[in-house]
């Protein structure tokens, strides 16, 4: 298997776009970064001699939840597979800024810029471009509550565009044609999301944006709209050194093969051969804790992992298509908007009339769920006189309706909103809003890895099969999926993944704060003092955080792979130059440095006492989710600068589909960062009191 070696030139960077920088860039105080182990300016023969293809990329400081496939990820995977085809190892070389990509290529730090560069005459003097990967258009963006201009002659007001990009050039050209337009150059360091917010808030009237970046934003924002196109389609391509003619020829041959079928974004129904030719497999699913979600910048989910391994086996990229609701998944499949559905579907007779189902890959029973204090139930007769809340579209509804036909059994079925996830219904039960609901046993298992305030009362059904759904015409795909699932089911990877999501506890019981020994609150006070002082953090707060993360266990490992006292992900630690996270000093240093990096993601003008709680929430769930929560807090009339009783309330709402689908980073289990921050504050205050006395 190809070895992917991640070598960081720097940490901070931007979201890639066709025209230049795309998101906030903040320099980060880190140890000296490793430099590439290999530097040369050779062509394909030299690359083959070394056995390594070096892909130059700009490091992203902010991820997002792909809802209609991830173009950036897909292009990186396409480049990786090119290297694999040549029998080469693939090495990712990250640079600090978008503008550093071409100089790094010319200096011999990498072989290929796989970053969808805009092809311009000036760049063609510096590098050789492949055949186009795609096309982009400079597009005007306006707020959704503003009327779209009928044509360019009606354009007026402030028009913002980033400095140092083709977007600003397009804005200047347009302003010369229309006197009512004024160009407002903005810093290349301003995040796309911030620019969209400024547009909605009326700080600017128009925004010139790359159509690809705009398409991503329109997948989750309904407060902006695309206006007139202000330029001709611009080709996007990969770049190599001008004298790397053999590499360029090989790349063009490869890209020609993968681009034969044209516009991949249009709906189509494709069987296995065409899927392989297109190089992409589209998985329709939902954005929730059981299937597909973003946590600390990492895409996760049991269905996602199964689908990704199947796509890898086929040698294609996996594109995830998030359905707006459960009811829309099958219509989307039949309309050609995806190749299969992976969302724990029960192959009911009704569903079988519309789609074909694979062999089962998972089994679950339907369980009645109540609060932990709920009296025990032994059978369905214990539902007498009770109310149970479920979605009409769920299999649970049909099960309960059949039970209502039983003699001497009288209970009420209350319909829940159609877009209300089962996890949200369970939360409503825990909060006391509903008395009872029904969940598949695996969904209940997920919830019980995070909490101990709910209980499964009794099984409503025997175990039922879950299967993937595909279009009835795709017989080859069905055969390939069945072969894959037969081998994967209960295999090593399946079992490890299942345990991680459904069995391993994700929370630790709280203990009362007390002195570790006279004058000490942890076994590592001196180390924490040292690094907290270096980065201007209150060391007692860091100790409280360390307790929350690991209970002072240097060998602690989380369900998602975080390691050590500060529970840093290994891939994050490598970006700072650290490897052995079980070493207390390494873990503390890496954790504090990462806290500093997260702190730099939030405005400097926030009050320090408010900023630190936002930072802690970002450390726990990912700063992107906290930024979503701040944006939502503002919409809800709350203070986006204060965590307690403000942003934390918005964070809780990001667990609800209504709000999650309008957030850049999608669903987040909001109760976890809320509980995390409150627990740390409580322990911090206790430590401060203990040391004072």
Residues 534 and 410 reside in one and the same domain: no
Average confidence (pLDDT) over 485-502: 91
Structural domains in the chain (count): 5
Q: What 3-state class would DSSP assign to 184? A: strand
CA nearest neighbour of 353 among 327, 328, 334, 366: 334
Q: Which of 303, 447, 549, 648 is catalytic?
A: 549
Query: Whole-number mean pLDDT of the chain?
Result: 86
| Predicted confidence (pLDDT) at residue 676 exceeds the cutoff of 60 | yes
| Predicted confidence (pLDDT) at residue 495 exceeds the cutoff of 70 | yes
- Residues 241/44, Cβ–Cβ less than 8 Å: no
Residues 168 and 32 reside in one and the same domain: no
Dist CA 184 CA 190 (whole Å): 13
- Residues 651/638, Cβ–Cβ less than 8 Å: no
- Regarding predicted confidence, which is higher, 405 or 28? 405
* Residue 504 resides in a domain: no
CA nearest neighbour of 576 among 562, 564, 592, 561: 592
Report the pLDDT value the prediction gives residue 576, as an integer from 0 to 100.
86
Report the pLDDT value the prediction gives residue 62, as an integer from 0 to 100.
55
Digit-coded pLDDT (tens) for 318-337: 989 998 888 889 999 999 99
| Predicted confidence (pLDDT) at residue 465 exceeds the cutoff of 80 | yes
Burial string for 645-680 (b: 16+ CB within 10 Å, else e) reads ebbbbbbbbbbbbebbbbbbbbbbbbbbbbbbbeeb
Residues 303 and 337 reside in one and the same domain: yes
> How large is the greatest C-alpha to C-alpha distance in the chain, in angstroms?
84
Report the pLDDT value the prediction gives residue 21, as an integer from 0 to 100.
33
Q: Which residues contact 295 (CB under 8 A, 6 or more apart)?
A: 560, 621, 622, 668, 669
Dist CA 255 CA 81 (whole Å): 11
CA nearest neighbour of 572 among 65, 63, 37: 63
- Residues 440/236, Cβ–Cβ less than 8 Å: no
Predicted TM-score (pTM) of the model is 0.75
Residues 667 and 589 reside in one and the same domain: yes
Report the pLDDT value the prediction gives residue 14, as an integer from 0 to 100.
28
- pLDDT bin (cut points 50, 70, 90) of residue 31 is very low
| Predicted confidence (pLDDT) at residue 232 exceeds the cutoff of 90 | no
Q: Which of 174-178, 264-268, 282-286, 655-659 has the highest mean pLDDT?
A: 282-286
C-alpha angle 6-12-15 in degrees, rounded to nearest 5: 90
| Predicted confidence (pLDDT) at residue 250 exceeds the cutoff of 60 | yes
- pLDDT bin (cut points 50, 70, 90) of residue 259 is low
- Residues 133/74, Cβ–Cβ less than 8 Å: no
Could you tell me what percent of the chain has a pLDDT over 90?
56
Mean pLDDT check: name the lowest of 115-124, 145-154, 155-164, 200-209.
145-154
Average confidence (pLDDT) over 615-635: 94
Residues 329 and 435 reside in one and the same domain: no
- pLDDT bin (cut points 50, 70, 90) of residue 472 is very high
| DSSP alpha helix (H) spans, 551-583 | 570-575
Structural domain boundaries enclosing 242: 4-132+236-259
Average confidence (pLDDT) over 629-640: 95
- The residue behind tokens 């860091």 is 542
Report the pLDDT value the prediction gives residue 450, as an integer from 0 to 100.
87
Average confidence (pLDDT) over 476-480: 97
Report the pLDDT value the prediction gives residue 71, as an integer from 0 to 100.
61
Average confidence (pLDDT) over 539-544: 97
Residues 684 and 555 reside in one and the same domain: yes
CA-based R_g, the chain, Å: 26
Burial string for 26-63 (b: 16+ CB within 10 Å, else e) reads eebebeeeeebebeeebbbeebbeeebbbbbbbbbbbb
- Residues 242/128, Cβ–Cβ less than 8 Å: yes
* Residue 402 resides in a domain: yes
Report the pLDDT value the prediction gives residue 368, as an integer from 0 to 100.
97
- Residues 205/198, Cβ–Cβ less than 8 Å: no
Average confidence (pLDDT) over 340-354: 93
Report the pLDDT value the prediction gives residue 67, as an integer from 0 to 100.
76
Could you tell me what percent of the chain has a pLDDT over 70?
90
* Residue 503 resides in a domain: no
- pLDDT bin (cut points 50, 70, 90) of residue 8 is very low
Residues 455 and 440 reside in one and the same domain: yes
- Regarding predicted confidence, which is higher, 451 or 538? 538
| Predicted confidence (pLDDT) at residue 308 exceeds the cutoff of 60 | yes
Q: What 3-state class would DSSP assign to 621? A: helix
- Residues 374/458, Cβ–Cβ less than 8 Å: no
Residues 422 and 533 reside in one and the same domain: no
The CA-based dihedral angle spanning residues 158, 160, 164, 169, taken in that order and rounded to the nearest 10 degrees:
-60
* Residue 668 resides in a domain: yes
* Residue 509 resides in a domain: no
Report the pLDDT value the prediction gives residue 515, as an integer from 0 to 100.
67
- pLDDT bin (cut points 50, 70, 90) of residue 234 is confident
Report the pLDDT value the prediction gives residue 354, as an integer from 0 to 100.
93
Report the pLDDT value the prediction gives residue 654, as an integer from 0 to 100.
94
Q: Which residues contact 630 (CB under 8 A, 6 or more apart)?
A: 614, 640, 641, 647, 650
Helix (H) or strand (E) holding 436: strand 436-440
Residues 292 and 404 reside in one and the same domain: no
Mean pLDDT check: name the lowest of 319-328, 408-417, 628-637.
319-328
Could you report how far apart the first and last alpha carbons of the chain are, in Å?
A: 59
Report the pLDDT value the prediction gives residue 590, as an integer from 0 to 100.
96
Residues 600 and 613 reside in one and the same domain: yes
The helix, strand and coil proportions of the chain, stated in percent and rounded to the nearest 5, come to 40, 20, 40
- pLDDT bin (cut points 50, 70, 90) of residue 550 is very high
Residues 657 and 547 reside in one and the same domain: yes
Q: What is the DSSP letter of 155?
A: -
Report the pLDDT value the prediction gives residue 338, as an integer from 0 to 100.
94
| Predicted confidence (pLDDT) at residue 272 exceeds the cutoff of 50 | yes
Report the pLDDT value the prediction gives residue 244, as an integer from 0 to 100.
96
Report the pLDDT value the prediction gives residue 602, as an integer from 0 to 100.
92
Q: What is the bridge-based pairing of β-strands 298-300 and 138-143?
A: unpaired
Report the pLDDT value the prediction gives residue 526, as an integer from 0 to 100.
95
* Residue 518 resides in a domain: no
Q: What 3-state class would DSSP assign to 269? A: coil
Average confidence (pLDDT) over 68-90: 78
- CATH number, domain containing residue 217: 3.40.190.10
- CATH number, domain containing residue 542: 1.10.530.10
Residues 561 and 674 reside in one and the same domain: yes
Within 10 angstroms of residue 608's Cβ, the number of other Cβ atoms is: 10
* Residue 255 resides in a domain: yes
| Predicted confidence (pLDDT) at residue 383 exceeds the cutoff of 60 | yes
* Residue 11 resides in a domain: yes
Active site residue 510: no
Average confidence (pLDDT) over 345-363: 94
Q: What 3-state class would DSSP assign to 577? A: coil
Report the pLDDT value the prediction gives residue 63, as an integer from 0 to 100.
65
Residue ending a domain, choose from 482, 497, 512:
497
Q: Which of 205-209, 539-543, 665-669 has the highest mean pLDDT?
A: 539-543
What's the number of CA atoms in the CB half-sphere (13 Å) around residue 227? 26
- Would you list the DSSP string of 465-488? EEEEEE-TT-HHHHHHHHHHHHHH
| Predicted confidence (pLDDT) at residue 126 exceeds the cutoff of 80 | yes
Report the pLDDT value the prediction gives residue 162, as an integer from 0 to 100.
85
Dist CA 195 CA 23 (whole Å): 10
């Amino acid at each position: 298997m190809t070895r992917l070696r991640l070598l960081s030139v720097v940490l901070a960077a931007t979201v890639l776009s066709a025209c230049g920088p795309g998101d906030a860039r903040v320099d980060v105080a880190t140890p000296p970064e490793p430099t590439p182990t290999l530097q040369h300016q050779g062509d394909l023969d030299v690359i083959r001699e070394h056995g390594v293809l070096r892909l130059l990329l700009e490091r992203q400081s902010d991820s997002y939840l792909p809802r209609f496939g991830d173009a950036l990820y897909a292009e990186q995977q396409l480049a990786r597979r090119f290297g694999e085809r040549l029998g080469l190892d693939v090495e990712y070389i990250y640079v600090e800024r978008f503008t550093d990509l071409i100089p790094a290529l010319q200096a011999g730090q990498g072989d290929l810029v796989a970053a969808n560069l805009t092809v311009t005459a000036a760049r063609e003097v510096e590098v050789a471009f492949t055949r186009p990967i795609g096309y982009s258009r400079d597009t005007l963006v306006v707020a959704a509550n503003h009327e779209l201009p009928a044509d360019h002659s009606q354009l007026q007001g402030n028009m913002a565009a980033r400095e140092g990009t083709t977007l600003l050039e397009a804005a200047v050209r347009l302003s010369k044609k229309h006197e009512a337009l004024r160009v407002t150059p903005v810093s290349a360091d301003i995040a796309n999301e911030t620019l969209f917010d400024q547009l909605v808030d009326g700080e600017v009237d128009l925004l010139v944006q790359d159509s690809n970046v705009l398409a991503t934003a329109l997948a989750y924002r309904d407060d902006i709209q695309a206006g007139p196109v202000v330029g001709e389609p611009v080709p996007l391509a990969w770049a190599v050194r001008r004298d790397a003619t053999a590499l360029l020829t090989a790349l063009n041959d490869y890209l020609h093969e993968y681009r034969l079928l044209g516009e991949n974004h249009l709906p189509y129904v494709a069987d296995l051969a065409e899927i392989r030719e297109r190089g992409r497999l589209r998985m329709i699913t939902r954005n929730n804790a059981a299937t597909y979600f973003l946590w600390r910048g990492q895409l996760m989910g049991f269905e996602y992992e199964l689908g990704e391994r199947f796509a890898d086996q086929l040698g294609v990229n996996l594109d995830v298509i998030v359905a707006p609701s459960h009811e829309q998944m099958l219509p989307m499949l039949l309309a050609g908007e995806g190749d299969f559905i992976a969302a724990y579907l029960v192959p009911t007779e009704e569903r079988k009339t519309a789609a074909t189902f694979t062999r089962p890959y998972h089994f679950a029973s339907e369980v009645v769920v109540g609060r932990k204090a709920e009296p025990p139930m032994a059978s369905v007769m214990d539902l007498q006189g009770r109310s149970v809340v479920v979605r009409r579209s769920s299999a649970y509804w049909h099960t309960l309706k059949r039970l209502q036909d039983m003699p001497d059994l009288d209970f009420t079925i209350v319909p829940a909103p159609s877009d209300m996830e089962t996890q949200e219904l369970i939360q409503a039960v825990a909060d006391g809003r509903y008395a009872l609901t029904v969940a598949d046993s695996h969904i209940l298992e997920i919830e019980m890895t995070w909490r101990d305030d709910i209980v499964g009362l009794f099984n409503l059904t025997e175990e039922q099969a879950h299967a993937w759904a595909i279009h009835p015409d795709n017989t080859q795909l069905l055969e390939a999926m069945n072969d894959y699932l037969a081998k994967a089911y209960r295999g090593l990877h399946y079992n490890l993944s299942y345990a991680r999501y459904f069995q391993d506890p994700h929370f630790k019981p709280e203990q009362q704060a007390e002195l570790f020994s006279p004058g000490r609150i942890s076994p590592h006070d001196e180390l924490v003092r040292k690094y907290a002082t270096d980065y201007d953090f209150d060391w007692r707060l860091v100790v409280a955080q360390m307790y929350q993360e690991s209970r002072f266990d240097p060998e602690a490992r989380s369900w998602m792979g975080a390691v050590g006292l500060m529970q840093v992900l290994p891939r994050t630690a490598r970006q700072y130059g650290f490897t052995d996270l079980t070493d207390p000093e390494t873990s503390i240093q890496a954790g504090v440095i990462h806290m500093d990096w997260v702190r730099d993601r939030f405005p400097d003008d926030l009050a320090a006492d408010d900023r630190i709680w936002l930072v802690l929430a970002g450390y726990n769930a990912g700063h992107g989710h906290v930024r979503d929560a701040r944006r939502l807090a503002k919409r809800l009339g709350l203070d986006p600068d204060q965590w307690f009783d403000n942003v934390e309330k918005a964070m809780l709402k990001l667990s609800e589909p209504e709000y999650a689908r309008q957030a850049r980073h999608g669903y987040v289990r909001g109760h976890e960062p809320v509980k995390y921050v409150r627990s740390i504050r409580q322990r911090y205050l206790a430590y401060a009191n203990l040391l004072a006395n």
